[in-house]
Amino acid sequence: MKIKFGLISADSHAQLDRDAFTSRMSKEKWGERIPEVVEVKDERSKQTVERWRVSGRVIGSYVANCPAVMNDRKVKYYPQRWEEVPAKVYEPLARAKALDEDGVDGEVLFPNTPVQNFGFMQAKDPEFELACVRAYNSALAEWREKSDRFVPLALIPYLGGIETAVAEVERAAKIGHRGVTLLCEPSTLVPTLPHINDPYWYPLWEACQAADFPAHLHESGGLASAISFPRWDGFTPNQAHSALTVPTGAFPAEFIPNLIFSGILERFPGLKWVSAETGLGWVNYVIEGCDHEWERRRLWNHGVPTRPSELFRRQIYVNFWFEKVGIAQRDKISPDNIMWESDYPHTASTYPESWKVIEETLDGVSAEEKRKILCDNAKRVYHLE
Amino acid sequence: MNDGKEKIGMISVDDHAQEPANLWTDRLSKNRWGERIPHIERRPDGTERWLVDDRAPELGGVASAAALMDDRNTEPQRWTEVPRAVYDPTERLKAMDADGIDCSVLYPTISGVGGEVLGRIADPELELACVRAYNDWLIDEWASASARFIPQCLVPLSSVHAAVKEIERAVRRGHRGVILPGIPMELRDVPHINGPEYDPLWAACQDLAVPICFHAGASAATQLKPYAGFSPAVASAFAALTRPASTIFVLVNFLLSRILFRFPELKVVFSESALGWGSYLLEYADYQFANDRIHLEGYPLKPSELFRRQCFVTGWYDRASLQEPGLVGIDNILWCANFPLATSTWPDSRKFVERSFAGLSDSARRKILWDNAAALYKIDAKKIG
């Protein structure tokens, strides 16, 4: 990747084109189950709108999650028909121009509509899941063929056994992916799967370590179905959105201690983990809290030989976008473990004023640390030389 | 004892009294309630466990006493093994003396750290009888023994009317705080905690000037369960990390609930919250409330402003957050020893405080260790000698 601006987004969302699945999956075999954009009647507005449909399920209340690139940011509009979706969301070359406009060199790509919970396990059909995951990974890999400014992350199949997941990771590495994005705890969504700490998953960690594929946990990482505050009907949609998103830091604050105590980091010391769209503010809690419990209970005698803060520094990376407080405490985290993200094109995105936001959040940070956080750490983690 | 010159006194705002074997059997009618009265039973293997209305509270033993055990990763398995400082007020005062702690604000153990075990008792009359017995016992045995103990009452969850009556009775008897589980509606069929049905309860606390106290770990819905393959030591350490983090959900809900706007004098303590995530959470809440345009929907204060007006968080080992309290603010931080949990700073509290508070001004130290808690719980240094 050529570095012109000195800024890489470690978390953006790739909207695949509407034909991404139909052009790659067998119509004969999968028919109308193939993910595609179809016309449906909206229950509330009674209007004919367009939605993605996956194996008979209509997904979401929009056709693409991209409010940051719609005309008026203030009204937070989500497109209802595909023709409203700007090409700079789903067309790689148009999108590259949007990157230029925002002063961003490249972006690490997480999924967008219609992918839910980082996979296609919802239909409970291993063969269908694999066909969708492969189509997704192949389509996204083509972005990188068009421009090396795109750093794709692969999805994995969960239902077809660990060998199937390993084989897809190996295939993804060959076609240009630079990491995988995962559920924190797959068994919360697929109850037949073993817990993420179980040796069942070791071949996957082995394959990711061998490919130098960082494992990515994004926002709640699917944990919202396991832990949440009970919904209250008295909230307006805006308040309900805040109720859902503001506690996001609780997910890594509860899950990363599991990762640290799981033995996975010890067993696969070359495997990196990235917590995306969760900010930095929970990190001091996890580092200080895990160290405190480790000392108080002498956990080195109980299967956790390495000090948690050392494990964290060695193998865990965290992304941030708007925080000033988290940045003020960055020295406790280590500037080598922090990456910037734009979250393009979601509602929280810094686009199209990323540098303006950076000036505010990184005010007072030394030039060397800025370089690391904005660019060099991502270059190193994703091998973008 | 606190001369206010050389040594700053210490108020621990979160410790646990241990209910003795005869607390409820002595106070409840055997004829009426029989085996449903909370009591200790011997199991076939010779170990003992509590039974509360036929349920066994989730506790690794017959009491919670890890900080006093030779190995902090164990709990007493028979009542005869329980260290006296856990349940005997006179011995407790000696343990506090040994650790340099002047006053101790008390939470229960068997009743649930936030009263959630008693709150699950289906029969409202039995629930109320158990709650009243606890509240009376804490005054009769602990508060009467020394002004250094600060008692807080439990409330029956089955009816807000009964809760208000019990709060009024308990405060008359000397209780200085009101303990509530953050999610009463997960324990029994009662309205969502945000509902207007609870307003008389908030009003009673505001009028009587007693804080509402939410103890971390009282709400199962917000806490990841430990991996079944963890050793008991690691499982307990993991739970000690998910507990404080789960407060994030409870606090966010409370900031959104608008209860604090309706009751601007009400004070709310989030005990065993730890501090590490606080400032970030408030920064994110401010950011997201603005993003979701909630200020236009009847939220005249930013979440961080609301928090600083009415909320408190508690720390025991935290360092970074004391050095840079950010949006949490020194006035909203309380200190605790967490006695006698495994995570407790006891018997090294002075050492922990020295490490955590290094570089803090005397006035900041005094606020966190004494002034904030003294104002909240109306503790008069002259009366505790």
Closest CB from B183, B246, B319 relative to A288: B319
Which of A75, A185, A217, A242 would you mutate first to test chain B, the one with the most B CBs within 10 A?
A242
- CA distances (Å), A86 to each of A79, A94, A98, A111, B88, in order? 9, 9, 11, 17, 70
Question: A141-153 as b/e, with b when 16 or more CB fall inside 10 Å?
Answer: bbbbeeeebbbbb
Least Cα separation, residue B378 to chain A (angstroms): 30
Nearest to B135 by CA among B174, B190, B87, B90: B174
Where residue A44 falls among pLDDT bands split at 50, 70, 90?
confident
| Shortest Cα distance, chain A CAs vs residue B99, angstroms | 16
Q: A-chain residues within 8 Å CB-CB of B293?
A: 238
pLDDT at A45 (0 to 100)? 83
Rounded Cα gap, residues A85 and A70, in angstroms: 8
CA angle (B289, B291, B296) in 5-degree steps: 60
Q: Is the pLDDT of residue B128 over 70?
A: yes
pLDDT at B280 over 90: no
Res B385: pLDDT: 67
Beta carbons of B149 and B142 less than 8 angstroms apart = yes
pLDDT digits (tens, 9 = 90+) for A83-127: 999 999 999 999 999 999 999 999 999 999 999 999 999 999 999
Using a 10 angstrom Cβ sphere, with 0-12 exposed, 13-18 middle and 19 or more buried, the burial of residue B363 is exposed
For position B4, what pLDDT does the model report? 43
List chain B residues with CB under 8 Å of A305. none
- The string of pLDDT tens digits covering residues A167-188 is 999 999 999 999 999 999 999 8
Longest dimension (CA), chain B: 62
Q: Quick one: average pLDDT of A26-38?
A: 98
What sign does the dihedral B257-B263-B265-B269 (CA atoms) show? negative
Cα–Cα distance, B195 to A379 (Å, whole number):
50
User: What span, in angstroms and rounded, lies between the C-alpha atoms of B20 and A99?
Assistant: 66
- Chain B nearest C-alpha distance from A282 (Å): 5
Q: Please give the pLDDT value at position B3.
A: 44
Angstrom distance (rounded) from CA B171 to CA B178: 9
Banded pLDDT at A323 (limits 50, 70, 90): confident
Closest chain A residue by Cα to residue B322: A329
The number of C-beta contacts closer than 8 angstroms across A and B is 202
Contact A265, A314 (CB under 8 A): yes
Distance CA B144, CA B172 (A): 14
Report the mean per-residue pLDDT for chain B: 95
**Residue B340: predicted pLDDT:** 98
CA–CA min distance A379, chain B (Å): 27
Given pLDDT bands bounded at 50, 70 and 90, which one contains residue A377? very high
Residue A325 pLDDT class (50, 70, 90 cuts): confident
The dihedral built from the CA positions of residue A136, A142, A144 and A146, taken in this order, carries a sign that is negative
A9 phi, psi to nearest 5 deg: -85, 120
Binned at pLDDT 50, 70 and 90, residue B7 comes out as low
The pLDDT of residue A193 is: 96
**C-alpha to C-alpha distances, A14 to A121, A184, A280, nearest whole angstrom:** 20, 21, 23
Tell which residue, A276, A385, A259, A260, has the closest CA to residue A337: A276
Average pLDDT over residues A208-228: 95
Q: Which residues of A touch B184 (CB under 8 A)?
A: none
Query: Which residue is it, tokens 């000698």?
Result: B385
The complex scores an ipTM of 0.95
Could you tell me if A298 and B74 are in contact, meaning their C-beta atoms sit under 8 angstroms apart?
Answer: no
Please tell me the distance from the alpha carbon of residue A81 to that of residue A37, in angstroms, as a whole number: 9
- B233 to A328: CB separation less than 8 angstroms, yes or no: no
Owner of token pair 């016309």 = A39
Residues of A in contact with B242 (CB under 8 A): 254, 257
**Residues B322-337: tens digit of each pLDDT:** 888 888 999 999 999 9
For A36, other C-beta atoms within 10 Å of its C-beta total 17
B124 preceded by a cis bond (ω within 30 of 0): no
- Identify each DSSP E strand in B52-180 by its residue range: 103-107, 149-150, 178-180
- B1 confidence band (pLDDT: 50, 70, 90): very low
Which two tokens mark B20?
A: 């003795």
Beta bridge partners of A221: none
Whether residue B2 is predicted with pLDDT greater than 60 in this model: the reply is no
Distance of alpha carbon B32 from alpha carbon A220, whole angstroms: 48
Residue B69, number of CB atoms within 10 A of its CB: 17
Q: How far apart are CA B104 and CA A13, in angstroms?
A: 50
Using pLDDT thresholds of 50, 70 and 90, give the confidence band for residue A236.
very high
Share of residues in chain A with pLDDT > 70 (%): 99
DSSP A268-280: -TT--EEEESS-S
Q: Which of B74, B197, B231, B241 to mutate to test the interface with A (most CBs of A within 10 A)?
A: B241
CB contact under 8 A, B283 and A281: yes
% residues pLDDT > 90 (chain A): 91
Contact A373, A340 (CB under 8 A): yes
Residue B5 confidence (pLDDT) above 50: no
**Count of all residues that appear for chain B in the document:** 385
Percent of chain B residues topping a pLDDT of 90 = 90
CA distances from B294 to A229, B193, B284, B301 (A): 19, 20, 14, 10
Joined together, the tokens standing for residue B155 give 């409330």
Choose among A380, A346, A373: nearest CA to A112.
A346
Q: What is the CATH number of domain B11-19+84-383?
A: 3.20.20.140
What domains lie within chain A, and their CATH numbers? 8-31+87-381 (3.20.20.140)
For residue B243, give the nearest of B259, B269, B263, B220 by alpha carbon.
B220
Say what the pLDDT of residue B325 is: 82
Dist CA A58 CA A75 (whole Å) = 24
pLDDT at B33: 97
Phi, psi of B101 (to 5 degrees): -105, 125
Element holding A255 (H helix, E strand): helix A250-261
Q: What is the CA radius of gyration of chain A?
A: 20
Q: Compute the 3-state secondary structure of chain A and give helix, strand, coil in percent, each to the nearest 5.
A: 45, 15, 40
B287/A255 Cβ within 8 A: no
Q: What is the pLDDT of residue A333?
A: 85
Token pair, residue B149, equals: 């103990």
- pTM of the predicted model as reported, rounded to 2 decimal places: 0.95
Share of chain B above pLDDT 70, in %: 98
Q: Which residue of B has its CA nearest to A253?
A: B245
* DSSP string of A78-137, one letter each residue: --SSGGGS-HHHH-HHHHHHHHHHHT--EEEEEE-TT-BTTBS-TT--HHHHHHHHHHHH
Judged by CB atoms closer than 8 Å, whether chains meet at A249 and B276 is answered as no
- The residue that leads in pLDDT, A155 or B321, is A155
Mean pLDDT of A33-62: 94
> pLDDT tens, A337-365?
999 999 999 988 999 999 999 999 999 99
Write out chain A residues lying below 8 Å of B234, CB-based. Answer: 261, 299, 302-304
Structure tokens at A302: 């109980």
B276/A288 Cβ within 8 A: yes
For residue B235, what is the enclosing H or E element?
helix B232-257
Strand partners, B49: B41
Nearest to A107 by CA among A98, A115, A116: A98
State the pLDDT at residue A73: 67
> Which of B238, B317, B342 faces A288 most closely, judged by CB atoms?
B317
